Structure 1
Amino acid sequence: MTQFHAKSTTDDVLASVDLTGKRILVTGVSAGLGVETARSLAAHGADVVGAARDLAKAEGATAEVREAAAAGGGSFELIELDLASLASVRAAADKLVADGRTFDVIITNAGVMAAPFGKTVDGFETQFGTNHLGHFTFVNRIASLIKEGGRLVSLASSGHRFSNVDLDDPNFDRGDYDPWIAYGRAKTANILFAVEFDRRHKDRGIRGVALHPGGIHTELGRHLSPGDLEALVERINAAAKESGAETFEFKSIPQGAATSVWAAVVANADAVGGRYCEDCHVADLVEGEGVRAGVRAYALDAETAKALWAKSEEMVGERF
């Protein structure tokens, strides 16, 4: 089997893959990774459903996806989904359930990063509410549509190392808000959600996998000034130098989306189920400061994953 790596692109990963007849849902298709993920899948014959908060923006951003679908024998359609509003999340899920068509893969790609303190429509801290609770509710409401042998691909981040989840104070009600800690908590939650989803659904042959796409210049960084980004990269590289790790390099968008499509349709399901992946492979468990690669043990902890699920149900007022 071909070994892919950090510099592999979506086209490399899908080079010999025919996705005709596969139906795949991708959230966050109005920019960056979401657009490229949808494009590459549709180009190989998949029927892709893209979800976005701003349909007009997504319509413009996905012209290349429609072209790729037409050329590759796939199809592309859009649905409206605002992850920061449970009413929107439920409406989108209800429409898909009423429609009844099944999915082979769901890729939860949408998200926000290092946002200033704020709250979603439902009063959740913005990053935890959008990145985790919105997807948690949406995916669980449409879980019955995932075919046997299907997958949930949850986009997380190496930023999970900034913090474990805090189930006692998920909304920063104590007032100690830090945008990077909040991002870390939300991204750890994205991994833990995949872990528990995998445990609950693997009897049906449905697997959950989380991944880090890599550092990429996308709209995800909209809350950062150029100075913030430079400072962050400097900090990362100083720590890397100390620990003997490689210095940080940005990926291109096709390189960043490669791990998503690899985990979705190329990787062996048993190899990636319940795991965290990066650079088109399953990541190693790591501890220690300055280490960017790998996954922290707390992000894969089965008991924390169960506790997060229960807390999330309590917060959104639904049992799954």
Structure 2
Amino acid sequence: MTQQFGATSTTEDVLSGILLTNRRILVTGVSAGLGVETARVLAAHGATVVGAARNLAKAEQATAQVRRDAEKGGGSFELLELDLADLASVRAAADRLNAAGKRFDLVIANAGVMATPFGHTKDGFETQFGTNHLGHFVLVNRIAGLLRAGSRLVNLSSAGHRFSDIDLADPNFEHTPYDPWVAYGRSKTANILFAVAFDARHRAQGIRATAVHPGGIMTELVRHLPKGELETMVKQLNAQAASEDKPPFQFKTISQGAATSVWAGIVASADAIGGHYCEDCHVAQVIPNDAPTGLLDGGVRAYAVDPAQADALWTKSEEMVGEQFD
């Protein structure tokens, strides 16, 4: 990693001069935002990209530029139907990929929801935990046999993991008052812990896993927020920044937001990122659980990279979805 990248690096910066011919990559959530840009830049640099989305008609429209750039860059792009909030759909998608038998060099688990009203997936799981974690948990484990030696898994997490550790005693908020941000935090912590556990189980085969924070970006993720809540949050962040003599919060562009996923999946050293959490195109510092920290501060809470906690989540996730993957 001779080239240094940071918070303002774009996907094109990260992949400058890199050809991805003969690389096959799966990206979930390609109907908007980060997923579209991630698929676009990979295909534009010659990769064969499979993009998964719940709404294929919407994804078809959203990825028109992906197809154009793929044609120019020598790559290719195809769509796969996948509803992460429905395990029957997840299993069907995995079955289609396994039946095709084509190997992957990289899986980017990008899709997700944020701060949703209280609800459940088709299988009865709390919406955010079920969609963001359990859907990807089943998909990735079911296609693990397609991952080549030297391949990687990149899970999209968030600084929002600091809102909450997981709660394995009450993952569906059956006994806990529901809070959309706590639920989001639980699911994003789970994304990191899943990467930690997957990396531990597959590194001997040369397969590594990591989790990334893309940064603050304006995408469809904000669609569930009540009117004015985002503006209030930005004001609070800026007040915090001012009190600490830091510059005001600025949203990243979509290309800057997708850069860390691409960096971790393609450019970074596998040993450097394996089992870790990355942000702004570097491996983040581990922050003690009791240390004061705000969303503008970097780092990952210790509970989110705890191997014992990762194993406990793996066991609980298997119990919840009714499958074992060890």
Does 2:29 match 1:28?
A: yes
Change (3 A) 1:254 1:318: same
Does the 8 A contact of 1:39 with 1:68 survive in 2?
A: yes
Q: Secondary structure at the match of 1:214?
A: coil
Measure the CA separation in 2 of the matches of 1:184 and 1:244: 27
Q: Secondary structure at the match of 2:286?
A: coil
Aligned residue number for residue 310 of structure 2: 305
Report the alpha carbon displacement of residue 13 of structure 1 after superposing the two structures with TM: 0.4
Q: Deviations over 1:25-78 (max 9, x none)?
A: 000000000000000000000000000000000000000000011000000000
Aligned residue number for residue 202 of structure 2: 201
Matched to 2:275, the amino acid is G
Change (3 A) 1:159 1:69: same
Measure the CA separation in 2 of the matches of 1:146 and 1:18: 20
Change (3 A) 1:243 1:296: farther
Matched to 1:148, the amino acid is A
Does the 8 A contact of 1:35 with 1:65 survive in 2?
A: yes
Q: Secondary structure at the match of 2:211?
A: strand
Aligned residue number for residue 167 of structure 2: 166
Does the 8 A contact of 1:242 with 1:290 survive in 2?
A: no
Does 2:41 match 1:40?
A: yes
Does 2:267 match 1:288?
A: no
Does 2:258 match 1:253?
A: no
Aligned residue number for residue 131 of structure 1: 132
Does the 8 A contact of 1:148 with 1:204 survive in 2?
A: yes
Q: Secondary structure at the match of 2:148?
A: strand
Q: Deviations over 1:182-234 (max 9, x none)?
A: 00000000000000000000001100000000010000111014411011112
Does 2:182 match 1:177?
A: no
Does 2:77 match 1:76?
A: yes
Report the alpha carbon displacement of residue 246 of structure 1 after superposing the two structures with TM: 4.6
Matched to 1:115, the amino acid is T
Measure the CA separation in 2 of the matches of 1:151 and 1:246: 35
Q: Secondary structure at the match of 1:261?
A: helix
Matched to 2:270, the amino acid is A
Measure the CA separation in 2 of the matches of 1:215 and 1:226: 18
Q: Deviations over 1:159-201 (max 9, x none)?
A: 0000000000000001400000000000000000000000000
Measure the CA separation in 2 of the matches of 1:242 and 1:171: 37
Residue identity (%): 68
Measure the CA separation in 1 of the matches of 2:201 and 2:244: 38
Matched to 2:99, the amino acid is A
Measure the CA separation in 2 of the matches of 1:182 and 1:234: 23
Deviates more, 1:223-232 or 1:6-15: 223-232
Matched to 1:120, the amino acid is T
Structure 1: any 5+ residue segments left out of the alignment? none
Does the 8 A contact of 1:131 with 1:186 survive in 2?
A: yes
Does the 8 A contact of 2:170 with 2:176 survive in 1?
A: no
Change (3 A) 1:290 1:245: farther
Measure the CA separation in 2 of the matches of 1:243 and 1:101: 51
Does the 8 A contact of 2:194 with 2:314 survive in 1?
A: yes
Aligned residue number for residue 8 of structure 1: 9
Matched to 1:93, the amino acid is A
Aligned residue number for residue 274 of structure 2: 273
Report the alpha carbon displacement of residue 16 of structure 1 after superposing the two structures with TM: 1.2
Matched to 2:322, the amino acid is G
Measure the CA separation in 1 of the matches of 2:320 and 2:33: 30
Q: Secondary structure at the match of 2:228?
A: helix
Report the alpha carbon displacement of residue 2 of structure 1 after superposing the two structures with TM: 1.0
Report the alpha carbon displacement of residue 240 of structure 1 after superposing the two structures with TM: 3.5
Change (3 A) 1:243 1:160: farther
Normalised TM-score (structure 2): 0.96
Does the 8 A contact of 1:240 with 1:290 survive in 2?
A: no
Measure the CA separation in 2 of the matches of 1:237 and 1:209: 30
Measure the CA separation in 2 of the matches of 1:3 and 1:276: 17
Normalised TM-score (structure 1): 0.98
Q: Secondary structure at the match of 1:201?
A: helix
Aligned residue number for residue 105 of structure 2: 104
